Structure 1
């Protein structure tokens, strides 16, 4: 089992696949955020920046700025589902900055967008268990090979994090299988 001090190899191709996956997961919930704050484009801008990197763009300040801007949008949102949707967008833009360390914290960089998007959809559905199961199944089926390959080089997702942490651990276990 890798330890937090172990270095892992990360290719640019893997980073792009992870960022693209995170962007796809977050994009599913942009409508939830935009219904709450229609004039606020920060989460969409973050997802677009992540997708641009995934499509071959450079890791640049737009990614970092987009991640922080979406995070601030989450802090300003009132509806809980919108908060999680904005956090998903923030994680999508930050996914391009995954560190080459075998740290359980890095699992959050890989799956944070998916976990927050799952929670946003869960909240938007009045916590319908079938919606949650469907969202997690979608995230599992749409993960490109690089997601599982990199997760298997890391320790399992850390404990804690409330419901989002629980969803993260469920998805982590499914993608490592």
Structure 2
């Protein structure tokens, strides 16, 4: 993709942004318990998930959503400084769930992170928590594939594939990206035609 391609504007509705955010929240929620176990006095990741749920349910994209997303990433840095690597990734999953509401309609590969980095960090949190068992991370990628509605898949495939780099989290992002793109081409089992709300 050249620079001109990256300036292409992608069609993206507010309803689609809400569905992407709903998906990111659903991917981040299972690892919140890891963060709160290791950092019980820090409510920042929970706060951003609450704000993201409000937006996904039809609320406005408020300043509070952006502020709490940044706060969750600060919580991640604090957890990392305390050598709680699983908690750090859990907090980043939450922060990225909040950032999903700010997916930009530009055809840049990095924008796919707004859709999938919540799931990638959640997968990494779980595999670290399981003694760095990569099978656990791969299993969560499979689960996250199943959570994605047809709307999420449609939005993702308007963007270029995930870029290289970013270590193990980047690998998990690319695995999930590829899995969802296979759904779009029909080379995976048929995607359920429903939203994330019905998955719980």
State whether TM-score is above 0.5: yes
2: distance between equivalents of 1:4 and 1:158? Answer: 13
Structure with the greater relative contact order (CA < 8 A, sep ≥ 6): 1 or 2? 1
User: CA-atom RMSD, angstroms?
Assistant: 1.2
Contact 1:23/1:48 (CA < 8 Å) preserved in 2?
Answer: no
Number of matched residues?
A: 177
Match in the other structure for 1:59:
61
2: distance between equivalents of 1:45 and 1:34? Answer: 12
Q: If the length of structure 2 is used for normalisation, what is the TM-score?
A: 0.86
SS in structure 1 opposite 2:6? coil
Are 1:150 and 2:155 counterparts?
yes
Are 1:106 and 2:111 counterparts?
yes
By how many angstroms is 1:130 displaced? Answer: 3.2
Match in the other structure for 2:77:
75
Match in the other structure for 1:43:
45
Q: Of the two, which has the highest radius of gyration?
A: 2
By how many angstroms is 1:127 displaced? Answer: 2.1
Instruction: For structure 1, list consecutive stretches of 5 or more residues without a partner in the other structure.
Output: none
Q: Deviations for 1:30-82, whole angstroms, at most 9, x for unmatched residues?
A: 01100111011100111111111111111001110110000100010021000
Q: If the length of structure 1 is used for normalisation, what is the TM-score?
A: 0.97
